[in-house]
Structure 1
């Protein structure tokens, strides 16, 4: 859904002064977010430590993957509703 600039301007005009400050802060955050995400990924160092035998076995195991719902049910964290 595309939102036009006029719609945004109209919404901002309806805000109280305090809420305009909040809107400004949030818009500033949205504009800076891509820069922050790029910086974070650039700071992550590649893990050069080889896998342990246990990690290799886990990756090659036949157990498969468990969904979040299955794990919650298994540990009693989710109740199945009828």
Structure 2
């Protein structure tokens, strides 16, 4: 699946990911390939994604995520 993490002034990450862990307002959740469509708000925390078996992290202060058709689009602030 494709993960896109953007802020108001830059693209923090754009590329393939095997899984994405997100700090949702109602609790942390994981998105895998072929996940159902969803939109959620995010709280301060870390986006943890796996790419070719390697875990990587991006710290955020909050934002929103849209998951649709194997594309995870995250707008952070």
Taking structure 1 as the reference length, the TM-score comes to: 0.16
Name whichever structure is richer in helix by fraction.
1
**Bigger radius of gyration among the two:** 1
